[in-house]
Chain A
Amino acid sequence: MEAFAQTVVSGLLLGAVLALIAVGLTLIFGVVDIVNFAHGEFVMVGMYVAFFSWSLAGIDPLLAVPLSALAVGLLGALAYATFVRKAMRGTLLSQIFVTFGLLIFLRGAAQALFTSNFRGIQGTVLTDLGGSIGGVAVPGPQLAAAVVSLLGTGAIGLFVWKTRAGKALMATSQDREAAAMLGIDPHRMFALAWFVGGLATGVAAALVAAYQPVHPNAGIAYGLMAFVIVALGGFGSIGGALIAALLVGLIQNIAGFYLAAEYKELWVFLLFLTVILIRPQGLLGRR
């Protein structure tokens, strides 16, 4: 029973963080209609921002959240303004390869600039916080990451559904031409989507850097999972991404513990394939 409770808690903690990362991806996809293959590398960049804030200026990763968010947000906006915007005028293939190129570039640049060494943030406010409730460990860094990520996901939801800018964003995602006719500049909206998507990703990245090694390949696993979650939840759906992420976290932990841990991702992909068969648009996606 204790073991089961532990898998559920660990699963939800992991899922919450994955949710915010996936929301960043789904927002970009939903509005701009481009798949950001470099999304995992955005996470990696955010992790480095948090690491260097800590190692050079002694800033706790919790306080580095805004820095990392801003950095990744600007990276997203910059990527849009320079390459993506141009590529959108090209063929489908060039749209696919522009973000793929960005992936290779970011990973290579990180290795060239920061070397392939593993970095880790130690002795933060959160390190020895947390404890166990009835034998179930609730680690401080992960709890903080999960709580902030859920707040972040909520904030993105509020922004999209309640603010003028958010509604304009959604209008562009639903019908680019109609929105443009009503005076909404699609390019500004696209840039905004990349910025907000990056912002969300940067928040999550700074938080995971508090308890995971930071290196040029640190984003790969996050990028892959974010894609599965976005497809599972429905492309462009924030609520879908949240539900799917929590599901993925739970399945990874429960199946990983009771079945073979080595194949924990297999169960996630199995669920993904099943959902795609039954509901190709994803859990909450529109057709």
Chain B
Amino acid sequence: MRRLSCCIFVLIVAVTSACAPGAGEGDGGTDGNTVRIGTIFPLTGASASTGQRTLEGVKLAAEIVNEDVDMDLPLASGEGLPNLEGARIEIVSADHEEDPETGASETERLITSENVSAVIGAYFSSVTLTASERAERLGVPFVNGSSSSPELTEGRDLQFFWRTGPSDRTFAESFFDFLDDLNAEKDAGVQSIAILHENTAYGTDAAEVTEEVANERGYEIVSTVPHGNGVNDVTPEASSIKSKNPDAVFQASYTPEAILFTQTFRQLDYVPNILAYGAGYSDSAYFEAVGDAGNYTISRAAWALDAVKDRPAAVEVAEMFEARYGHPMDENSARDFTAALTLFQAIDEAGSTEAEAIQEAMNNTDVPAEQTIMPWDGISFDETGQNELARGVILQYIDGEYKLIWPFEAATADVVWPLPEFSKR
């Protein structure tokens, strides 16, 4: 009897949830006059501070659309989305806890129970991978701003996935262009390279693409050191790099390990010439935690205030961000701000929250460079959903701010190479 009632209960739950409103159908996203947009970021766990900053980027984009803001950006003037009778954007945020499985199930929950019209996320490449596949299956657009794994737009053939930011393939090429220039113009003599990377999709894919490009360009890889996340000691990893003493170290790590490595290298009295694949090194929290030891960090970036100072709107957005959230806008927030604004433009262009209409508008996106806050050539997607106009720049953290050091002709500061000792930073 007990078993029978259990079965009935399960059956009822299954049936009612299948019939729940908006389970993948219709334009469930408008409720009165709001457009619901889901976000999926790491809001708890070791990378919670980064997740918070990416979410703040999205929220600021929504605010600029919702309020009448005097700014030279699309949708800034006037309240709401004009083609949807001034509908306001409502952000529904979810937490993936850095876990690909949670990311997928939370994305499903956003779509089926929270009724969102599109999803933005997920910072961790490993989570973006699973979450975007779930969104694809449910036929809802997924837009990514801050995941860089090349795998996301190579060989996946998704119809509802777009990435506004550059992939690490673009970044790796920029890095080696930079090294070529550094060797040619500053006689840096960089030849041997080590790769230090975290061991999920972001880090392993960055390592792979670095190796590929290094081999093409004739650089020698002397060591590849993967590391786990959420560890309390990285001495063996750091000692291993130290023992090989490479001319440059390519590093792809999230914030906690970026901090730990900086502290450990310092304790081992070794100064690696790190070229960082953003992530931890793009996080303003990193610089707060390590203080002066973070000076002269070199990182690839899709955004830096210093690289867009000639765009009034970009400067205004950065100022508004800092005033609103109390810390400076960093690359991660800027990237998801742009992903969000691109999506909002497409929804407005479509004049509808129906998935197919948004899809068509996203595919036809053509935003000129000066209509973005990014140092790119604009936003326009190829058939894989990759923004083919996204560009990478190379920055060095000098006097409390990331400065543009490459391309040399656009640089606002001279590169400091090799990196100075920690005690002299």
Q: Which residues of A contact B (CB under 8 A)?
A: 3, 6-7, 10, 14, 111, 115-120, 122-123, 128, 130-132, 137, 139, 141-142, 208, 211-213, 215-218, 220-222, 225, 252-257, 260-262, 264-265
Contacts and interface: CB of A to CB of B under 8 A. Distances in A.
Contacts of A116: 43-44, 48-49, 51-52
B20 interface: no
B255 A118 contact: yes
Given A116-B52, A213-B260, A215-B256, A253 B235 contact: yes
Contacts of B288: 117-120
B236 interface: yes
A213 B48 CA distance: 14
A56 to B, nearest CB: 15
B19 interface: no
Nearest to A255: B236
Interface residues of B, number: 43
A7 B239 contact: yes
B235 A118 contact: no
Contacts of B263: 120, 211-213
A119 B287 CA distance: 10
Given A212-B260, A215-B46, A253-B236, A261 B227 contact: yes
Contacts of B239: 3, 6-7, 10, 253, 257
Contacts of B270: 137
B49 A257 contact: no
Contacts of A255: 236
Interface in B267-292: 267-270, 285-286, 288-292
B423 interface: yes
A115 B288 CA distance: 14
Contacts of B233: 14, 221, 252
Contacts of A262: 199, 225-228
Contact of B269 (A3, A132, A213, A257): A132
Contacts of A128: 423
12 contacts: A3-B243, A14-B233, A14-B235, A118-B288, A120-B288, A122-B292, A142-B267, A216-B48, A222-B232, A255-B236, A262-B199, A262-B225
A132 to B, nearest CB: 6
B94 to A, nearest CB: 16
A143 to B, nearest CB: 10
Nearest to B292: A122
B373 interface: no
Interface in B324-383: none
B8 interface: no
A122 B262 CA distance: 12
B259 A141 contact: no
B289 A213 contact: yes
A118 B232 contact: no
Contacts of A118: 49, 255-256, 259, 285-286, 288-289
